[in-house]
Amino acid sequence: MLRPVLQFPDPRLTKVSEPIESIDDSVRELAQDMLDTLKTVGGVGIAAPQIGVFRRIVIVDVSLLEEHPEGVEIPQDFRVVVNPVITVLDPAKHIENEGCLSVPDFRAKVARSKRVAMDGTDLDGKPIHFEGEGYFSACLQHETDHLDGKLFIDRISYLKRSMYEKKMKKK
């Protein structure tokens, strides 16, 4: 079911989400709603708090693991990750121009760890392990940030952030 996406400056986006203790129907329904919402609004990932559910679950597009050659369309391949944990494999900074379903009409360059791993489980409780570099690494960190109540605009300069906040207030 399509659910409304919370948008900045909704204070609920700063809440820290709770770990998932057991994968029951409520978790499976949540994952389905996240997937329906992501496919409808479009994007490369979504986290549960973005649809107002404060539990640790994200969906990421693992087609980004492969290099997308210029002009070649690779179908999106969404994976549900329950209780994702990020491990930094290469702390060198990689800069990506990020956007977010919860931060409409704005993109900004964000510096994050160049290479990370994400560990968690799928909806059957089986372990999941991804390693990502560059753009995919940024996506994994971006989605996990949502579970800790952080948006990418919390990681940009004060000046850029206040420009965005002013723009939002004019609306």
Q: Which residues are catalytic?
A: 143
**CA triplet 79, 82, 66: central angle to 5 degrees?**
30
Number of residues interacting with Ni ion: please give it, by CB under 5 A: 1
CB of 45 to Ni ion, least distance (A): 7
User: Which among 30-38, 85-93, 95-103, 131-139 is the span making contact with Ni ion, rule CB under 5 A?
Assistant: 95-103
- What tokens appear for 167 in the block? 């723009």
Name the residue nearer to Ni ion (CB basis): 23 or 100: 100
User: Which among 26-34, 98-106, 130-138, 157-165 is the span making contact with Ni ion, rule CB under 5 A?
Assistant: 98-106
Binding residue for Ni ion, selected from 100, 116, 118, 147, defined by CB under 5 A: 100
CB of 101 to Ni ion, least distance (A): 6
How are strands ordered across the β-sheet holding 78-100? Answer: 45-47, 57-61, 78-100, 103-121, 127-133
Please report whether residue 27 would count as binding Ni ion according to CB under 5 A: no
Site residues (CB under 5 A) for Ni ion, limited to 107-126: none
Place of tokens 């390693």: 131
As to burial, measured by CB atoms within 10 angstroms (0-12 exposed, 13-18 middle, 19+ buried), residue 21 is exposed
DSSP state of 5: P
CB of 43 to Ni ion, least distance (A): 8
As to burial, measured by CB atoms within 10 angstroms (0-12 exposed, 13-18 middle, 19+ buried), residue 142 is buried
CB of 24 to Ni ion, least distance (A): 26
Name the residue nearer to Ni ion (CB basis): 82 or 100: 100
Separation between Cα atoms, residue 115 and residue 134, nearest integer Å: 7
Residues lying near Ni ion in the complex (CB under 5 A): 100
